[in-house]
Structure 1
């Protein structure tokens, strides 16, 4: 876990706190500090990978995305979002605040999540 002054690396290294929902070999799932929905999770890569690299295909290993979405699935089932409905959001370019690869899982049964800016 690397990345100087990376919030997610600090969380992974227990230098900053976050409410952990679950952990796999490759990802942690945490609650978003600034939720945009009743349930707003972040699925964070345990390895510091820049979003610009993963989205540009630097990690063309299919198992990377399989493992990421397996972590999403486990969190969704654990919190019963599979019964309420949810969205998976991948912010890119001007829409992300942190380069460390992560995805948002938002839901919780209050209708559509607004299209406003989703941030950590």
Structure 2
């Protein structure tokens, strides 16, 4: 997608502070953090939202979830905990039409549900 801000970050057209970069996804620090640790897990494949994933995306989304364990360990959050947020669609609060996971931690997080 030519106008997707996350695709531009993934393609190094927009600077970001990368924490991890693999063949399948990139993890960057959020530019407007809502917690002391606020990362975005971005798949390199452009998928509009969680509602748009296909059967063939199961491995990719599984890897995205699995990496949260490694991020928790890297940032010392394994014991205290962390939050993963996936906003989907306009009513779900999704602002950028590119699937991404918010990884938040470093403080006690508010309960949502």
Task: Identify the TM-score tier after normalising by the shorter chain.
Answer: 0.7 to 0.9
RMSD: 1.8
Answer yes or no: is 1:64 the counterpart of 2:80: no
Picking from 69, 74, 79, the partner of 2:70 is 74
Q: CA deviation at 1:87?
A: 0.4
Question: Could you tell me which residue of structure 2 aligns to residue 19 of structure 1?
Answer: 17
Q: CA deviation at 1:66?
A: 1.3
Are 1:22 and 1:75, in contact at CA under 8 Å, matched by a contact in 2?
Answer: no
Question: Could you tell me which residue of structure 2 aligns to residue 31 of structure 1?
Answer: 29
How far apart are the structure 2 equivalents of 1:93 and 1:62?
20
Unmatched 5+ residue regions in structure 2?
none
Total equivalences in the alignment: 110
TM-score, normalised by the number of residues in structure 2: 0.85
What are the equivalent positions in structure 2 for 1:73-112 lying under 5 Å apart?
73-94=69-90, 95-109=93-107, 111-112=108-109
Q: CA deviation at 1:61?
A: 4.3
